Amino acid sequence: MSGTNAQTRSFINTGYRTARKFGGSFCTVTQGIGDFFVNEEARASYDNSDIHITLRQGEGFEKFLQDNPKAFNEMEQGIIKSFPRAGDAGYSCVRIKAGGHTTYHRVFSDPFTRACYSTEATEFEYCENLVKQGMPSIEAIEATAQHFYGQEIADYQQALQQKAQGVSHDV
């Protein structure tokens, strides 16, 4: 998205502007929303997208809002700024804008999924080290989930067992 590669620029300019009329689509993911506004090609990918999914933004969001004050209205800015870190909240907050409608959601994931998609450095490194030691990826993810979320897994399994035995318990 840097704009330095001529073929990439051409692909984005042509592809993103015409994909829908041929039944196609593109998905572009960046670390920060500001990446979509660094050059004409990146902006074209953003402007020609009907669906925008926004997760919690880092410290660069304030600068982005200063540089692009009309990107989000005041209410949207406040909501996005209030998105907590997933690791602290136990869920991820998501803003979805599609077809002119904007909605906000909380996404809850099981421990395996969290370990699989985690961007937390300690979790990623733990899993990567297991893979480097020769452990298959699926087993490494399961071991990572157990290491970081073991108590949650145990609590859930206990609640399932109690439910199967007819014991009332909130899950």
**What integer pLDDT is reported at residue 28 of this predicted model?**
82
Q: Are residues 103 and 119 in the same domain?
A: no
Q: Are residues 151 and 116 in the same domain?
A: yes
**What integer pLDDT is reported at residue 27 of this predicted model?**
82
**What integer pLDDT is reported at residue 32 of this predicted model?**
86
Burial 110-140 (b: 16+ CB within 10 A, else e): ebbebbbebeeeebeebbeebeeeeeeeeeb
Residue 170 lies in a domain: no
Structure tokens at 30: 């960046």
Q: Are residues 76 and 104 in the same domain?
A: yes
Rounded Cα–Cα distance for residues 37 and 45 (Å): 10
**What integer pLDDT is reported at residue 42 of this predicted model?**
81
Instruction: Indicate left, alpha or beta for 78 from its phi (over 0: left) and psi (-120 to 50: alpha).
Output: alpha
Residue 171 lies in a domain: no
DSSP assignments along 13-74, one per residue = HHHHHHGGGGT-------SSGGGGGSSHHHHHHHHT-SEEEE----THHHHHHHH-TTSS-H
**What integer pLDDT is reported at residue 72 of this predicted model?**
94
Q: Are residues 75 and 122 in the same domain?
A: no
Structure tokens at 13: 């300019």
Burial 27-52 (b: 16+ CB within 10 A, else e): eeeeeebbbbeeeebbebbbebbeee
Residue 94 lies in a domain: yes
Residue 59 lies in a domain: yes
β-sheet with 92-98: strand ranges across: 51-54, 92-98, 101-107
**What integer pLDDT is reported at residue 30 of this predicted model?**
83
Question: For the chain, what is the domain count?
Answer: 3
Q: Are residues 59 and 31 in the same domain?
A: no
Residue 169 lies in a domain: no
Q: Are residues 56 and 104 in the same domain?
A: yes
- Whole domain around residue 77: which residue ranges? 51-108
pLDDT in tens, 102-111: 999 999 999 9
**What integer pLDDT is reported at residue 93 of this predicted model?**
96
One-letter amino acid of 88? D
Cα dihedral: 40, 45, 50, 54 (round 10): -100
Tens of each residue's pLDDT in the chain, 171 residues: 555 677 877 777 778 778 878 888 888 888 888 888 888 878 888 887 889 999 999 888 999 999 999 999 999 999 999 999 988 888 999 999 998 899 999 999 999 999 998 888 999 999 999 999 999 999 999 999 999 999 999 999 999 999 999 876 565
**Reduced 3-state DSSP string for 124-149:** HHHHHHHHHCCCCHHHHHHHHHHHHH
**What integer pLDDT is reported at residue 17 of this predicted model?**
74
